[in-house]
Amino acid sequence: MAESQPLRTPTPRSLCPYFGQALWFSYFHPEKLPGAKDRYINEIQRVTKVLDTALTGKGYLVGDKLTFTDLAFVPWYWAVGALEGSTPGLLKGLKKDLPNFAAWLARLEERESVKKALEKRKELSAPPKK
């Protein structure tokens, strides 16, 4: 039987709790719990550092080939924008401190399909027109 290897790169599924809980404790939890919010912000920073390391010398997470894995991360990092009100500069700081991550996210966001998805997201998130 083959030994299983631990996954060294965060998966989009593994990010869900960190991003979701950071948003929850920043905006929706009835009681302000800075320690809880900070815990999840720290986890976002930690897993993004792991991504940055995994991207060293590579264009994408799976070598130099774009895969669904890369694209699945994009909406989670768009969600970081929603944290700007409670944690100003979070995404800007990640991009400044983690050059592999910043270049990778920029490459993804330059793709026409990703631009189209972002425009659709903005359209669907906009307040209803009167």
User: Mean pLDDT for the chain?
Assistant: 83
Burial grade of 112 (CB within 10 A; 0-12, 13-18, 19 or more): exposed
pLDDT at 7 over 50: no
CA pair distance 1, 10, nearest whole angstrom:
25
Determine the structural domain holding residue 24 and report its residue range: 12-123
- Asked if residue 79 is part of any domain, the answer here is yes
pLDDT of residue 13: 57
- The total domain count for the chain is 1
Q: pLDDT higher for 1 or 79?
A: 79
- Asked if residue 63 is part of any domain, the answer here is yes
Average pLDDT, stretch 13-19?
70
**Facing residues of 65 across strands?**
62
Residue pLDDT, tens place only, 64-92: 899 998 998 888 888 887 787 778 888 88
Q: What residue type is 71 in one-letter code?
A: L
**Facing residues of 62 across strands?**
65
Domain CATH for 83: 1.20.1050.10
Q: In which band, very low, low, confident or very high, does the pLDDT at 2 lie, cut at 50, 70 and 90?
A: very low
pLDDT of residue 130: 75
Average pLDDT, stretch 97-103?
96
Burial grade of 85 (CB within 10 A; 0-12, 13-18, 19 or more): exposed
Question: If you write DSSP's letter for every residue of 55-86 in order, what string do you get?
Answer: TTT-SSSBTTB--HHHHHHHHHHHHHGGGTTT
